[in-house]
Structure formats: structure tokens, C-alpha cells
């Protein structure tokens, strides 16, 4: 998939976060490297297909890295790249906002 962006930095950042699942995947990876099954358990409501699609997109965007170990069955781990770690403040700001305003619902 070829992405095109305007010169707007907010649009670029929003495209990395993309949908409701990507910030939740990043939230999980902020605490460290995770295996696929850990992400499946911790990102409640996401289907395996959607998780796989989002992981691939995040990897293509350079936000996460994927390491495959030559074992049977294959062991795959996901972790944040430097670019992914730079999104930490945004994810934390989303958490803070949610804590503040979710109580008002």
C-alpha cells in the first residue's frame, strides 16, 4: 500500500496511529517486547486477521520491529523501534486524556 501525505505533520502522525487498534498495540509494546499470542490476549476485541494486518503496517512504517526465531513452531517477537518509542508521549497523552474525560461520560 502506497501512502501519500500532505506536508502536515499532524496528518503524518495520525496516519501512523491510523485506527483504533494501532494505539492499543503500541500501548502493549511500550512495556517491552511481546509475542503474537500476548498481543492477542491483551488487545481485547481484535481479531487475528486485523492484528496481523496492523502489525505488518506498523512494521512497514518503521514503528515496530519483528524478530523471527528459527524454531518449530516459529517464535516471533515484536518490539518498538526508536521511531515507535518516540510515540510514547502521544500514547501517554491519550491515556491522560482518557482518564480525565472518561469519568465524565
* pLDDT tens column, 39-48: 999 999 999 9
3-state secondary structure of 72: coil
Cα radius of gyration rounded to whole Å, the chain? 15
When pLDDT is cut at 50, 70 and 90, the band that residue 20 belongs to is very high
Q: What's the topology of domain 9-102? A: Arc Repressor Mutant, subunit A (1.10.10)
- Average pLDDT rounded to a whole number, residues 5-32: 88
pLDDT at 49 over 90: yes
- Averaged pLDDT score across all residues of the chain: 91
C-beta atoms surrounding 95 within 10 Å = 12
- Calpha distance 97→99 (Å, rounded): 6
pLDDT for res 1:
47
pLDDT for res 68:
95
- Calpha distance 77→37 (Å, rounded): 10
Amino acid at each position: 500500500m502506497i501512502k501519500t501525505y500532505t506536508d502536515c505533520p499532524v496528518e503524518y502522525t495520525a496516519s501512523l496511529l491510523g485506527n483504533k487498534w494501532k494505539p492499543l498495540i503500541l500501548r502493549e509494546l511500550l512495556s517491552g517486547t511481546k509475542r503474537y499470542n500476548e498481543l492477542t490476549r491483551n488487545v481485547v476485541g481484535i481479531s487475528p486477521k486485523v492484528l496481523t494486518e496492523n502489525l505488518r503496517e506498523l512494521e512497514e512504517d518503521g514503528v515496530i520491529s519483528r524478530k523471527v526465531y528459527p524454531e518449530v513452531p516459529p517464535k516471533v517477537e515484536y518490539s518498538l523501534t526508536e521511531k515507535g518509542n518516540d510515540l510514547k508521549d502521544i500514547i501517554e497523552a491519550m491515556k491522560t486524556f482518557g482518564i480525565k474525560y472518561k469519568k465524565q461520560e
